[in-house]
Amino acid sequence: MPKPYPEEFRRDVVAVARKREAPLEQIAKDFGISETCLKNWLRKADIEDGTRPGLTRDESDELREARKRIRLLEQEAEVMRRAVAYLSRDVNPLPFSKSETTRFRPLNWTPRHDYVNLSHNDQFCDVTEVDRR
């Protein structure tokens, strides 16, 4: 990619082009740039001056930074969701029902009576000395 032209050079070329003393094609040729490049500079200058709708350079930079921050926050939220799911797997080991598997459970979740985890039942029976049948 070619090196960008200095800002001062761009301003001078745009100022000459806005005087309309010569066609854009001739001005571009005199300054050694393409006509498309000159049109792009004029369009950006009009946006910066407020004569044409669009995002100014400052607004564009601010929007870019905001999107970058949003991406970072979304990544952080995903890490937190995964951490909660990982750390809560031992706290609530049973799903809502046998067929339904869910990623998260509400805080007020209680086990259903129709589904009993036998490993917990055996431990309960051992502690309370109740017959396993």
**CB of 130 within 8 A of CB of 124?**
yes
Average pLDDT over residues 97-124: 54
Of the candidates 86, 105, 107, which has an alpha carbon nearest to the alpha carbon of residue 95?
A: 105
pLDDT tens digits, residue range 8-42?
999 999 999 999 889 999 999 999 999 999 999 99
> What band does 131 get if pLDDT is binned at 50, 70 and 90?
low
Written as one letter, the residue type at 28 is A
Average pLDDT over residues 52-81: 93
DSSP 2: P
Domains of the chain and any CATH numbers: 7-54 (1.10.10), 61-128 (no CATH)
Q: Which two tokens stand for residue 94?
A: 């049973």
Residue 22, CA distances (Å) to 28, 32, 80 in order = 10, 15, 62
In whole angstroms, give the CA distance from residue 125 to residue 128: 5
In whole angstroms, give the CA distance from residue 130 to residue 21: 103
